Structure 1
Amino acid sequence: MENLRTRTALPSDVHAVLAFWKEAAEGTSISDDVAGVTRLIERDGEALILAERDGRLVGTVIAGWDGWRASLYRLAVHPDQRRQGVSRVLLDAAHARFLAAGGRRADAMVLVENETGQAAWAAAGYEREEHWRRWVRPLA
């Protein structure tokens, strides 16, 4: 984990984050655009956590906190940086954020067909809750 640091995203990071997700994340979201990521950063400046190594973006996680639920999205690590502790560092930062805010449980959103993501969350100690099925609907 040499030269690895985390920080929260700034508005100037939006384009780099979107380009990174195209390369490192599996699947897309309706809010994977400049307006969506900018809105996230403006609404909650601590939610989007970046991992950088030698100034290069190597990982992201969105640690959303609404005052009741701690939700994790967009855990992504660049393919050439995987299995080097990047996701562990990102999740440690997210968990610290949640604990400081009073969070008691973190939920991760992972695409069912994203086998790499499923394995990463399992390795991080998360359990899949079979009894929950999420229902989603675009708002626009």
Structure 2
Amino acid sequence: MSDLDIRHATLSDIDAVLRFWRQAAEGTSITDDHDGVARLISRDPEALILAERDGLIAGTVIAGFDGWRCSAYRLAVHPDRRRQGVATALLEAAEQRFLALGGRRVDAMVLESNERAHHAWGAAGYHREDHWRRWVKSL
């Protein structure tokens, strides 16, 4: 999409990203605060990828790589921008990042109840692995 700007988030984007996630993302995380996003950007300045149209955030994805595994989180598209190629552009940017870093497989965190997201991830070539479950512990 020629009118879509894909770029990495900066520290000055944090408040706008948090507002965007409240409007466009499903679910919440204990790291959905200024300090959590600041730590992400400070540790890995290329991990949080933004799609913008007309200067406004149209979508986000976190493309994290720990040297072992590629992980995609927070793929979110503004409700008014869905089905316009935003998620596709974001996933392409994330996958290019992973390939450049030597990644070999992407694990995506997708809410079980978010059926709309299941369709989007499937359309992008991802498949669900039912034999794995996520185990978490808040610190």
- The question of a shared fold, defined as TM-score above 0.5 by the shorter chain, is answered with yes
Instruction: For 1:70, give the aligned amino acid.
Output: C
Q: CA RMSD in A?
A: 0.7
* CA displacement, residues 92-121 of structure 1 (integer Å, 9 cap, x when unaligned): 100000000000000000110111211111
2:93 corresponds in structure 1 to 93
Q: Distance in 2 between matches of 1:2 and 1:42?
A: 29
Secondary structure of the residue aligned to 1:18 is helix
Moved more, 83-92 or 113-122: 113-122
What one-letter code is carried by the residue in structure 1 that aligns with 2:136? V
Q: For 1:107-138, what per-residue CA distance to the aligned partner results, in whole angstroms no more than 9, with x for missing partners? A: 00011011121111111110000100110111
Identity of aligned residues (%): 68
1:60 aligns with 2:45: no
Aligned residue pairs: how many? 139
Q: How does 1:129-140 map to 2 (within 5 A)?
A: 129-139=129-139
Structure 1 runs of 4+ off > 2 angstroms? none
Q: Kindly state the Cα deviation for residue 2 of structure 1 after the two structures are TM-superposed.
A: 3.6
Query: For residues 121 and 56 of structure 2, what CA distance do their matches in structure 1 show?
Result: 24
In structure 2, runs of 5+ residues without a counterpart are none
Q: Deviations over 1:33-65 (max 9, x none)?
A: 000001000000000000001111100000000
Q: What residue number does 1:119 align with?
A: 119
Distance 1:115 1:24 in 2: 15
Distance 1:58 1:91 in 2: 13
Provide the C-alpha distance between the structure 2 equivalents of 1:14 and 1:115, rounded to a whole number of angstroms.
28
Question: 2: CA distance between counterparts of 1:54 and 1:2?
Answer: 11
Partner of 1:41: 41
Partners of 2:28 and 2:51 in 1: CA distance: 20
Match of 2:107, SS state, is strand
